[in-house]
Amino acid sequence: MVFNSYTFIVFFVIVLVLHYLPFSWKVKKINLLLASYVFYAAWNPPFILLLWMSTLVDYFVGKALYTQTNVHKKRLLLVISLIGNLGMLCFFKYGGFLMENFVSLVNVFGWSYHPPKPNIILPAGISFYTFTTLCYTIDMYKKESKPIPTLLDFSLFVTFFPHLVAGPIVRPPQLATQFETPHQATKKQLIEGLFLLSLGLFMKVVLADATLSASADAVFNTPLALTALDAWSGVLAFTGQIFFDFAGYSTCAIGAALCLGFTLPQNFKSPYAAIGFSDFWRRWHITLSAWLRDYLYIPLGGNRKGKFRTYINLMITMLLGGLWHGANWTFVAWGGLHGLYLWAERFIQDRKEKKALSIEPLTETQEAVTPKASAGFFYALLTFFLVNITWVFFRATTFSGAGKILGAMVGLAKGAVPLLATIAILKIGLVIVLMVAAHWMLRHTRVLDVAYKLPWWITGTVWSAMLILLILSQESSSAFIYFQF
């Protein structure tokens, strides 16, 4: 089930009604758990079994890890959890990728090996709920938080439908503790939740799908040579599409949870106003960035073992972060390119040796420091420009396709003819300019804060306009891009 469907509207109304009926808190939690299973099963019912298996294994392993005092037994339990979770993830997400690369490798050595192509269906959201359960067992191993008291609460923590399929990636203290006591939205929370849900759907349906997706698809899928204008327009269209699609989902998730009285962590904070790439990763997919920092970068040694190891740890983190997004070498290249950007940024900062600019990559949510606002804006535009380059590898399915787009962007394509209509290019330009401007203005604040500062009639007019455009644009219920991850 997707947020941008009429089925979800009916589903969500039923969930809200059940949640606000005078049932006991335990019954309400059971209702939410069953609703979450229905939400997930609407896509492919058999994969509920994977969700159940992951939930049961990690609940009981987590409890045992927290109470176990024998170091060797603790490590064995952790290995069981890692094998169970990462094993499922590797089979379903990377099985075909690994087999394909193994075949290519043995063929290089002259071995003729051509097995049948595996027909593996990727379960929706497996990367997200796997990371959610993994952080629980790792926290139990380190005793960084207390075990979730009941299987019901743990199951709801893993499968709570707003975050289940595409995040935000939540940790036990961020959500599970909220299930211990009765939660209902206040009138203010309900209005805020409905507003965020409307905003998220507007970002997905009107901006990502109706305005930008067709142009991005046309440019990245065409076999024809592209003009520089078309290539840049297509890349910018995808830059906007990926933000509005993914941030739209996160906004919907946060809004839906808030309508029920629960708070989910923020996942985006004006990423296209980032000043540098450390700052970008504190603003883009914040919960994944924090997960990679705490469960990969820091355990590898972070910046505690010298500059050389810091650079290596950074690159490993970004390469694996790229691979997390998809079983394709283009995603690895996307992560590697971000790693190179972070390398360059850290090298410059190390050379300057200024404490105010020594920002730790993938660490605390601190703001980048610049001497002047004008300089900060320039660096933000430079960061945005370089981020656009990385999106080429994220969107292209092959390196040849990515090379074709990059070549066209610098005017190297021969025999190119215009592809996109003038009106499409103008729409892309307008949306991207407004998006970047909005990110810059919202760099230090939230949308809800701005909504409260505006006169009520302006906020109401904007909200009404979003709803009208949603109704006019709702021609299909295409899945969110991050469902494939």
Mean pLDDT of 347-363: 61
Specify the pLDDT at position 108.
74
**What pLDDT band is residue 352 in, cutting at 50, 70 and 90?**
confident
Q: What is the DSSP string of 402-436?
A: HHHHHHHHTT--SS----S-HHHHHHHHHHHHHHH
| Mean pLDDT over the full length of the chain | 87
Pull the structure tokens for residue 192: 């805020």
Specify the pLDDT at position 479.
63
142: helix, coil or strand? helix
Pull the structure tokens for residue 207: 């901006």
Pull the structure tokens for residue 101: 């690369």
Q: Convert the pLDDT of each residue in 157-183 to its tens digit.
A: 999 999 988 879 999 999 999 999 999
Give dist(CA 87, CA 103) in Å, integer. 21
Specify the pLDDT at position 370.
45
Which residue from 30, 39, 32 is spatially nearest to 16, judged by alpha carbons?
A: 32
Phi first, then psi, for residue 234 (nearest 5°) are -65, -40
Specify the pLDDT at position 358.
46
Contact 271, 443 (CB under 8 A): no
Q: Convert the pLDDT of each residue in 206-260 to its tens digit.
A: 999 999 999 999 999 999 999 999 999 999 999 999 999 999 999 999 999 999 9
Q: Convert the pLDDT of each residue in 28-68 to its tens digit.
A: 999 999 999 999 888 778 888 888 988 998 999 999 998 88
Question: For 133, which DSSP code?
Answer: H
Specify the pLDDT at position 289.
93
Q: Convert the pLDDT of each residue in 383-408 to its tens digit.
A: 999 999 999 999 999 999 999 999 99
Give dist(CA 174, CA 287) in Å, integer. 11
Pull the structure tokens for residue 34: 């069953």
State if pTM tops 0.75. yes
Give dist(CA 108, CA 476) in Å, integer. 45
Residue type, 462: V
Enzyme catalytic residues: 325
Specify the pLDDT at position 367.
45
**What pLDDT band is residue 362 in, cutting at 50, 70 and 90?**
low
Residues whose CB is less than 8 angstroms from the CB of residue 51 and which lie 6 or more positions away in sequence, other chains included: 37, 40, 129, 158, 159
Contact 264, 178 (CB under 8 A): no
Asked if residue 115 has pLDDT above 90, the reply is no
Mean pLDDT of 64-84: 88
Asked if residue 316 has pLDDT above 90, the reply is yes
Specify the pLDDT at position 433.
96
> How many other C-beta atoms are found inside a 10 Å radius of the C-beta of residue 415?
6
Radius of gyration (C-alpha) of the chain in whole angstroms: 23
E strand map for 93-177: none
Specify the pLDDT at position 208.
93
Name which of 52-56, 122-126, 245-249, 296-300 the model is least confident about. 122-126
Mean pLDDT of 91-120: 74
